Amino acid sequence: MKKRIKLLLVDDHPVVRKGIASCLNQHEHLQIIGEAADGREALRKAREMNPDIMLMDIDMPHMNGLAVTDLLRKELPKIKVLILSMHSNTDYILRIIQSGARGYVLKDAGTEELLRAIESINQGEAFFSPEVARAALNQYVKGSGTVNTQVTQLTNREREVLVHIADGLSNKEIASQLGVGVRTVETHRERIMRKLNIHSVAGLTKFAISQGLVSLQ
């Protein structure tokens, strides 16, 4: 028997998670090993459960799906991320590609398309819904598909600290979340500001939102 594909479902709406699980549980080669309702829980469960694929929403509390994907790319690169979202605008599509996600399927897609995406990604291929792929291609053809190199300059931990800063957490609260000392957080904050050439919390928050690292919720 073929090895089952281990899936972790990440969405802040319980009804959406249950609906996806109901569709996928009918297929014996798929195994849903867990669920998460926000970005921080998704990151914790990814570390604990080590799924093959994470089905990830974008807009979630605490840390959005793109920020989680960014962090997983360096920390747990074997975990493949498939974004499931209602966003179809080109800004989001380009950020999804930059984040390291292996695919992007719109939430109104049929079960067959979702299955194809999971199986393709599991085999090491990329999968984007046809309308999503067309939108991204059109954006690049127009010459406006640029990669923000500032984001890529940040280390994994610096991105995590940036997300917490944009969430309004103090240095002490960030230190508690990450299990490090306050001085370590202060050092990360200084490096982030220097690398991005942004020297205020408001500026860092605006940058994080513009890059899709956090959501306006």
Q: Is the pLDDT at 66 greater than 70, yes or no?
A: yes
Q: Which of 94, 113, 141 is the last residue of a domain?
A: 141
Say whether both 113 and 193 belong to one domain: no
Say whether both 118 and 137 belong to one domain: yes
Say whether both 50 and 90 belong to one domain: yes
Say whether both 17 and 93 belong to one domain: yes
CA distance 27 to 24: 6
**What is each CA distance from 202 to 161, 187, 199, 214, in whole angstroms?**
15, 18, 9, 13
Q: Which of 121, 141, 161 is the last residue of a domain?
A: 141
Q: Which of 33, 27, 75 is nearest to 54 (CA)?
A: 33
Is residue 67 very low, low, confident or very high in pLDDT (cuts 50, 70, 90)? confident
Lowest-confidence segment of 37-41, 51-55, 90-94, 170-174 by average pLDDT: 90-94
Say whether both 69 and 176 belong to one domain: no
Q: Is the pLDDT at 78 greater than 90, yes or no?
A: yes
Higher confidence at residue 198 or residue 206? 198
Say whether both 123 and 29 belong to one domain: yes
Domain boundaries, position 163: 149-210
Say whether both 196 and 177 belong to one domain: yes
Q: Per residue in 125-170, pLDDT tens?
A: 888 887 666 666 665 555 544 445 566 788 878 888 998 888 888 9
Q: Is the pLDDT at 199 greater than 90, yes or no?
A: no
Whether 209 and 196 have beta carbons less than 8 Å apart is answered as no
Domain-located, residue 215:
no
Please report, for the domain that includes residue 163, its CATH number. Answer: 1.10.10.10
Say whether both 31 and 124 belong to one domain: yes
Q: Which of 81, 83, 8 is nearest to 41 (CA)?
A: 8
Phi, psi of 85 (to 5 degrees): -155, 165
**What is each CA distance from 88 to 23, 25, 108, 130, 133, in whole angstroms?**
23, 27, 11, 11, 10
CA distance 48 to 34: 10
Say whether both 109 and 179 belong to one domain: no
Say whether both 201 and 100 belong to one domain: no
